[in-house]
Chains A and B, each alone.
Chain A
């Protein structure tokens, strides 16, 4: 009964109701769109940085992250890798050796960042193997092959099949020297790596730098779904559990490498993502605050217009509580109309963002964010939690904003109200 009355009351002023609902709905829709876009960018950053580069959990020699010394390595790397891989919850691992060296083709030479990777494991863990734009990924056996970044290839005027000379310092301070055949050119998405990256087979790199069975990091990607969800707290908790299990492994106990989750390893990236997330919620709060003002205004007007009518209702014995409920239910119906508009609009925006993306290219290049080059076209990503948060927020603010009009309506003095209304 009250619902029917409320619904009909709402449409007595069709235009006003529609405009209020439309304003709220557009706000909701836009904030849904912006959340989807933010989520998309975060996921891309996460993919590029966390899944491909940092891993969920990473092992290092305790002083390597601060010193970057060539000889601060993880020893018995193959046994360590095998043990970590045997751990439940570990999806993939990648042992890596990293150094800097001078590299040159026939004509020119320049500094480069050398990464020794296990081709099979690295391909499973990261998308680097799919970033090869010319030639092929490293062979699974060490064959003195090298992959080089696109910019570096250009700088050295060298291509697939060419010879790459690498000269550096080995672990004993002697000369690391090696000649490699370029098997592929990479566009990885990392500004730094594309302009200076060289990837070698792990064993070739170990021989080059006199670091047999050693490496600088072991990257671990978890198979646990929550760790991939990029939530706010639950993924970190799951990773901490995995980390605790890893630390208990015999080889890790013995060597005590530095074991960190990606948030611990790169707090700045973690904060960046959290900030992004927070900023889209702040936007939602602003939208909802505006919606609340709309509701407040509409409902106060509606109560004011109906002063006489409400007075009569009170006079014939309708309970004030019912009057309050009526006003609140009216507001909630208004919110429902707004939510429908918002969902249709937001859904459409989300669909377009997810399907077609948004072109963010500058001169044909993607934006660069925290050293990671994003793709020129950014795509949105839908997240139930943010859609639900938006709707819940809308209803909650509506409820709050209708309390005052409801109070006013139920506390009218019947006689006064009737007289006032008749003036």
Chain B
């Protein structure tokens, strides 16, 4: 049998704290959602001022990244590149801001952020992932 790494609650807290700090630094109010590699929620938070829709969008961005093992931006670019049929891909929200979390070469889950411009959402998510020092 194969052993694979998994996100702990402490990892989720660390990631979320770093992401939240990045958002606050820029005075951005967002929702930050972390899913495991099966697309199940491990951790979620909605900053004051972010909307209920942001939680749903962040979750769907994260689910896209967790289940396809690719950033939601990659899907956005494929659609923008003319591959409109990708809009029918199951479970894919093709909007930047969902990033897979890769540890030891394995996707262990994903983080999704929603609330500001989608490249800024991704910046927040990346700051969170960077805090885990996965290399």
Chains A and B belong together in one complex: no
| Chain B contact residues, CB within 8 Å of chain A | none
